[in-house]
Each structure stands twice: as structure tokens, then as C-alpha cells.
A and B are shown apart, each in its own frame.
Chain A
Amino acid sequence: MSIDITQFYQVFFEEAAEHLSTMESLLLALDVGDPSMDDLNAIFRSAHSIKGGSGTFGFNDMTEVTHVLENLLDRLRKQEMKLTDEMVNVFLEAGDVIHMQLDAHRGEGEVDAAQVKTVCEKLERLTCNVGGQPAHTPAVAIPTTAAAETAYGLFEDEPAAAETAYGFFDAEPAEKSSGDDAYGFFDDAVFDAPAKVDEPAYGFFTEEPAAAAPVVVADQSFGLFVDEPTQLPSTPQQAQQETQQGYGFFQKITPVAQESAPVAKEVVEAEAPRRRASDRTAPAADTSIRVNVEKVDQLINLVGELVITQAMLAESASTVDSGLYEKLQSGLHQLERNTRDLQEVIMSVRMLPISFVFSRFPRVVRDLAGKLGKQVELKTLGEGTELDKGLIEKIADPLTHLVRNSLDHGIESPERRLAAGKPEKGTITLKASHQGGNIVIEVADDGGGLNRAKILGKARERGLAMRDDMTDAEVWMLIFEAGFSTAEVITDVSGRGVGMDVVKRNIGAMGGRVEIDSVEGHGTRILIRLPLTLAILDGLSVAVGEQTYIIPLGYIIESLLMSDDDLRTVSGGGHMVHVRGEYLPLMALHEVFNVPNANVKKDARIVVIVEAEGKKIAVLVDELLGQHQVVIKSLESNFRKLPGISGATIMGNGKVALILDVAALSSVPARQSKLAA
């Protein structure tokens, strides 16, 4: 094994993180009174995979924790002891600890050694608590002594290395269970095939030292394994369990495989069809590969180019005689369809289901509800709704904040709920759905709702801009002001008034909006509207002189024709436009951007009213061209940031159009309007 394994660290990190989240979600779904064996086994396998991987890569601290964790899990799944709430909590804590260690190995954050120790001790205590100690004492002792650790590392590493030899696609053969990784199946196929020839039950063992070659002590290994009680019973059982239960996944498909290959009958029992199933169905299964995001973005760029080229071809071809060049025309039509399909597919590559974000909330809610002494049920709907990967990453924090907020301020204590005639258990609903070109994420609770009088009182206290005749919706938006909190008691969960303004700002930065809906006594609903993707923007193209600019649609309130009567001059040279009782500052784009030959019709000026950060501006343009979905391109990668411009895009004719940064537009240093220009 002279290969440099550091190159595989990243794979291990990603996979370990996946295992941790699998483990966590399984733990949270676990019914403590009557845990399902499948789940316990799956949790065990996740822990085991992390242990195997960390051993291989020499992350001994992780190996130690997972080892202790595994001991307890192993006893549970062999039904030597009963699962308790305490155990689940400790398991979750252990998961956190491993995560912390993982982050530390990644070079992000540090390990809190005391916490690691506490968790290990808790785990060990629980493991030894109920019966059967003698056999397990050595196991617990192993990770604590350095010498034993090495010994353990020795033989644990070898099989792990054998696994990783195939594995680096999927280093952990335990992924037999997961069924969501195609490479995992190949591993199994490899392992199972020889296993069948020799001794099915122990195939796992026999095969491994063989593949790992350098293990001289093939038969002694058995003796060694005795020191490791968790290993010995676990693996054969795991192997057996596979043989007996198969992967639920494969069994469903087996009949199909048999039909297509009746020869399989000759081969002994279920083993063969299963192998065949894995051979045949692997490509069709839920396969996935890891691809660098940059590559995907590159693809998106190239397809964007292709679409533009295709549009240009179509335009030139529209001038030729379609009678003479019939084949050319039909070929171009074909090209158009193909490029559209291609674009659609490639855009979808960047999309991820929102369950990536939602999946963290059961844990958040569970922990927090426990801390606050509230009973809360979390419902998630529409987890399959897809949105851009970039948005997924950015929406997680604001959503977490909103959920915590709902839990802390929204849901009342069980007593209060009962008194109000509501069920003791509160409900928080997370829902995602598509609405037009937007994705709508809803965080709803059936708690106390917002109190108008209280918010107004608080706003007055804080000196926020407010009126008494504000609509409810306007009042609710006040809670997004900086430093606003109506919580009676400031807790460590929330109530310091930091955060809601950040939530709003973050969502705004993603091009989204927040809306609140609340009925006192019945609950609050917060809606987040986001564009489907960061890479594409809906915009209105406007002409100014020979230039085209894009105004993001989200900022536009209306466009209208303005006559000279609506124009007011302000001392200092500025102009205001009178629009239905409001005076808005007028900004002539050709002056802001010094565009020559602007063609503003004096009698019918076209203005676009935009609103950003609560300020409305009237933007004067020559002409409205149309509404487009444009692909946002960075100006900064080769050039630099420009005042008043948020990016650029490429129009159908191949020219570059600049996208206005509406929020920054008003502060662009421009000579004051001289409308006559």
C-alpha cells in the first residue's frame, strides 16, 4: 500500500459526514420502546463504517469514540440490553463529538477533549451497566491503552485497507445497507462471490485477509478477533443478516433478474440471484457520482453558449429560402429542440432536494424542545422540492433561525396550550413548494401568534418608524427590524433581537422575500420566496441609447409613461416624479451610465419604478425591450466590480448586457439629471 492515502481524505470526510447524518436521522426516528432491528443495525453499520474509515486513515481519535459507540450499539442490536432515552441522547452526543473530530481533521474548528471524554465515559458506563460485563471489559479497555490501540489498529486497518482497495469509490463495505450508493454494490458483489465458494457465513473474513495480502496470520486472526468482542460477533452476523434478509432493495428486483436470466436457477439458493441482481441492476439503481461543482458550472456555461449560438444560427437561417434549404431548416429545428432539452437537464444537475436542509431540523427541534420543556412535533412537507445547490447552502441558517424562533416564541408551554384548549403537543410545519418561477418555503407553528399591540409598543419603545394605521402585514414586518424582540424572557435560545434582521437580509441577498402571516392565539406562518436558482434571474431588458440593461424583475413595481406635468424640479438640480400622490426621485439611466445618443421621447418618457430596501426610485429609460430569463455572469472574475451593476449576462444576439444593482443604484455618483439631454 504505497499509495498516498491523503488524496482520499476528502472522500472519507464526505462519507463520514453522510454516515453521521444517516445515523442521526435514524436515531431520531427510533422508537425507544420498541426499536426496529433494521434501524439499530443500520446505525451500527454507520458507526462501524466511520470506524473502519478513520482507522484506515489514522484518525485514531475518531476510531476510539466510534469504537466505544459501537460496543454499546452492538449489545443493543443483539438485544442484550434495552434501549433507553438516555442512550439515544448519548448516541446523539457521540455523533456530535465525531462530527467535531471530523471537522477538526478537515482543519475547521477544534476538538473539545473534555467533551469527547465525557461522551466516551457515558457510553462505557452504559455499555457496562447491564449484565455481561466480563466479556466486554477487554473491549472497553482496548481503546484506552496505547499499545492495545496499535494492535487493534493493525488488524482493523488491514481489512479496512482491503475494503478501501475497492473502495475508494465507497470505502465502507458496510454500505451494503445503505443501498443508495451504486459502488457499494460492486463491493458486495466482489465480496460475496468468493464467499459463496468457500464458507458463506464467514466469507467476509476469509476474503478480507486474502485481499489484504499482507496479513500473515490469517487463522490467528480469529484469535485476535477474540480480543475484540465487538468485531467477532458483529461481522458474521452482519454477513448472515445480509444472506438472510438481503438488501430489501435487491429482493424487490430479484424476480426481474431471474426472468431475464433463467439460468440462475442452477445456482445455489438466493445467493446467485442476488449477485446477478447486483450485477444487472447496479447501473439502473439509484446511482450517483460526486462531481466537482466547478465542472457543473462549466457545463452550464457551455450550454448557455450553445443556446446563444443556436439562436444566432436560427436567425441567419430565417433569411434563406426555406424551399431550397428545407433540410437545413429542419436540421436547425432539431438542433433547437436538442439544445433546449440539454439545457434543461444540465440546469437540473445543480438542483438538490430541499430535504438536504430539512433533514437537520428533527434534531434541532428535539434538542430545543427538550431544553425548553415544550412538546413539539415537526412536520415536513415537500422535501422533494428541488432548488439550486447554492441556495440550499445559504438557506440553511435563516431557516434554522426561523425554526428556533417558532419553537421558542411561537409554541407555548404544554400547560398554556392545554389552558388555551389546544393539544399539549405543538406542531411546527416546514413546507416547500414551487410557485411559478419561485420556490416557497413555509415555516408555520400553531403557537400563540404575534401580538399586534405588543409589537407596536416595542417598536415605539425602540423608536422605529411606525404609524398606528399600519396594516397587520406591515406590523409583522417590524419584527425583522434590527434589535427587535418581543420575548418576555431572554433565553439562550433567542430573544436578544439579533437574528431576525439577519434572516431578512440573508434572504434578500439571495433575491428572495419574506412574508409573515399570523393570527393571535392560532399561530404564525412565515413564507420565504426564493428564486429557483442563483444562476438565472428574471429581468426586464431596457434600452438606453445603444446599450441594453437588465433590471431584475423582483425589484420592479411598475413601468409607466410620464408626461412633463408629472415632473418637478428640486433645488439642487434633481428631479422628482409625481406618481399617484407620491414623489419619487428620478434617475435617468443614460446620465448615470453616460450613455451617448439616448433617445428619450420628451412627450412620453418611460419610467420604471423600482423599490429596494424600502426606497422607491423612478428610472428613466428609452424603451422597454422585453422580459427574459438571463444567466448571471460574473464581471469580477476577469474585471472588477462596477458601481450600480450587479453582474452581466449574454443576450440572444451574443452581446453583453449589464444587470442593474437596484439597491446600489441610488448611490451611484452621477451628475444630476439634465433631462433635456
Chain B
Amino acid sequence: MKLYIAKRLLLLLPLLTGITLITFLLTKALPGDPVYGLVGERSSPEIIEKIRKEMGADKGIIRQYAGYVSLLAGGELGRSYYTNRKVSEDILDKFPNTLRLAIGAMILSVPAGIALGLLSALRKDSVTDRLISGVTISFLSVPVFWSGLILMLIASLWLRLVPPSGTGDIRYMILPCVTLALPSLATVARVTRAGVLGVYRMPYVRTARAKGLTKARITALHITRNALIPVITIIGLDFAGYLNGAVLTETIFGWDGIGRFTMEGIMKRDYPVIMGCIITGTTVFVLVNIIMDIAYHVVDPRVRLHAKDR
């Protein structure tokens, strides 16, 4: 397993090189110029040229990319054009906030999603099943900017339970975590239901039943465990997605996370911020995927993680 992890981590290097190159070219191809955000509404062409030169934007694109790669090689992500703060420091500031939100959302969505999915599958075609299906479909269909505002209205303004916005302790996490958890919960529930129903018809379940095992034991050991593989994939994708920031949720609830930071960087064409966030996001995705691969192995030992098998 160690060899497998080492190999996957080594693969990160060419992957990041490719990602940085593509992102660099794409951001440069976008219309818009960061210099116009820096100079305000009335500035002379000389100042604009001077600032562009300072940013290195007057050089050819290959030289600009080479300059950026040498910066990366020195362990730096550069400074924001706007705030002049180190991008690495900003990411380190904001990432723990995003991580808290992602973990909070997962704590809410995963157990509840699996439980609802199981319940739905075990009571297939009953009223409970239809009710759960209805609820999960509505959670999936409602956009977060709407559900977030409705939750804020109810929990903050009407019930006065939690603050509507800000970055802070658990009180501030409740609304954004619930908002993020709803679609996740729905997906997990639906995938669990489908997985359980698929496994339910397997011969080994029939064998287990024939052996005289209790229904609870069959469900816990033989059905759930085997049905969890696709659920782990969904959890991994959702979690990695949240770690890259939930732009709308973070904006609505004024949460100082990676998503808002990335979005502001894109809007202002703050290239060092965009690049820094993409690099962090890619790394996070790869790491989460490695963890998920290990989880597959734990849940289903048939999945081999030896490097030579890959």
C-alpha cells in the first residue's frame, strides 16, 4: 500500500505541471486585465504600462509561465496583485475554514444519507420509501442560494437561533453546513438505496438468509458493507468538491473560505490567486482520491492497492 501511495503522490508532479500550464494559458486567454482593477477610474496609460511591467505582463506568455514555475520551484505561490499579500498565507488562513465546513457538512450528510437510503431500500415501495424519495429529490433540485437564504430566514430571523453570517465557532457553521449537507445527503441516500437494492438480490445474501442469520446482521454485515463502494465514491467527490470551496454557500453566509477567495480571484483576474487556488485544489483532489482508494480497500478487501496492479 505504501508503494501505491508513493506512486500516486509522485504522479501528482506531472499532473500539477499539466494543470498549471493549462490554467495559466486559460486565464491568460480570458478577456479582462487585472491592471484595470488596480488603477481605478482615471489613470494615465504610463501608469498602466508601468504596473503591467511590474506584474510581468509585458513579457511573452512562455516567459511568464517559466517565471511562475520558477516561483513554484522556490516554494512560493506569489503575491496577490490587489492585496499584495502572499497567496500561500491567504490559502493557509482560509483552508482550515473550508475544511471545517466540509467536515461539518459530511458529518451531517453521510450518516443521515446512509440511514435514509437504507431505510428507503429496506422498505421499498412503501410510504416511507416514497416520502424519502420525494424529500431527497427536492434536496437535490433546490439550488443552494435559495435553500441557504430560506434556512437563514427561518433559523436566524424567525427562530433567532444562529447568526446569519460570519466566520467563527460552531454557531456560524450550522447554517452553511446544513445548506451544503442537503444535496449531499440526498445523493448519498439515493446511491445507498440503489446499492442496497442491487446487493439485496445477490446469491450470498440469500445464502446468509438460508443460514438463519438475523435480518439486522444480514443488513449490517452483508448488504451495507457491499453496497457502500459507490457511496464512498460519492462521498469522496463531494468532500473534495467542498474542500475546493463552495462559492455560493460561502458568499451567502459570509464564510471566509477557499471558494470565495477563488471566485474573487477569478473576477478580478488576480492570476497568482487563481493559480494558487487551482494548485491547492488539484492537490486536495488527488489526496482525497488516495484516501478514498484506501477506503475502498478497507470496505472491500477484493480491491487491491498494490502499485503493480495499477
Does chain A bind chain B?
A: no
Q: Which residues of B contact A (CB under 8 A)?
A: none
Q: Which residues of A contact B (CB under 8 A)?
A: none
